[in-house]
Structure 1
């Protein structure tokens, strides 16, 4: 096969792959503007179901709970994940370091059903000893932090492993302590990884159904659980409208994260070039 033919095959396969992934999403977004009550029968353009969605107090309350939980889950996971990544990449070998790394990353390969059941049993045990009452927003937050911590740790660890340690050592040779080196040298360099980890943890928390089903209570129903329950009663065009809004929000967040990382990378490259010019 000639080079032109090989290129045509590659582009065709790539196009079919993207079509398989995104054409259903595009169809869902188009049908969110459908006037018909049947979610798959087009009868005209209308914003009616967006209005119905914003009048659904139960759905809006579940969305607000999910957003709050996802925000604080991502924030806590980034803080704890960064600390765990520093232990795994910067601290010298200590007894149990390999076990520590294995336990931190275990949720990556553990089924969510097992994680949810384990956390529920832990909450029940805590309730017997310290009076902790599971089934609230706090329970979902703790469970989601436990689940997303592993993903953030892996993302930040990979960035720290690529970081040139000579920069930190040079700063310490000039008199800076480890805390100052971290905030002035390490943190700005790994900032894109922190943003990526935060967005990943936010998305995983916002999308979770299995773990939240184990630990959520009647007054703390998250959006995925509410959507799943609604779909079981029958597919409503409101779900299409909700999915379209979620796609829009996630796309904007992903674009902002990409823009931040692109700007930081350009600034880092510019600083490196200036340093090389001054040394030259």
Structure 2
């Protein structure tokens, strides 16, 4: 009988490109393919180590002279809604949640276009067409849901979140919402409802993506109690957002080979630097 050993994922680094969060910086990402029978376990394991999913790729920042981007998650047991967050929940009590398989629709794409044109007209997704949008939603090798929020009275689609189901939480891959409903704070509401989704399913965390000190686009994430950030290969409770710096520090990041060596596979095996 022949036995084959599991193949370790190969890691690569992107070429530097302008940072979308901090002006004048260049970003670089460490990434690996997400495919095969072990895709779900790999996504579960690397999400706990600060990685994020985009279609069939897992990545995390690996910039040469900056370590501002920090993976963030909410510890559901430690979360308590603030007064303004409770108002947001009441304000959106007329929305109905529906979770479906990852399938793109014309209604979703129309909302997505309105959202981009209002909030991110010059961003990396600004030119995304309907086929690329469908790929973003549907090309997933793991357990993923499209969570839609519709107005109970009119039936209009108000918000959408592409959500991965992890073994220890839900990961909000990408969300968008009706820009004309600015007073409803839909972005905040979708996060609050995902905390409820995690509670309903006995999952301890809601993964939010990256929090970047000094970036106005990411500042809202620091407003959630129970927030944890991934620093120094461990999750730490967010105590004071002002304690984190966005200043470039050329000596703060480990070499790529050392970063890869410190990544643990789902079965607990460390990777070797030669996999880069």
Higher helix share: 1
TM-score, normalized by the shorter chain, greater than 0.5: no
Higher RCO (CA < 8 A, seq sep 6+)? 1
Give the greater-gyration-radius structure (CA): 1
Q: Structure 1-normalised TM-score? A: 0.22
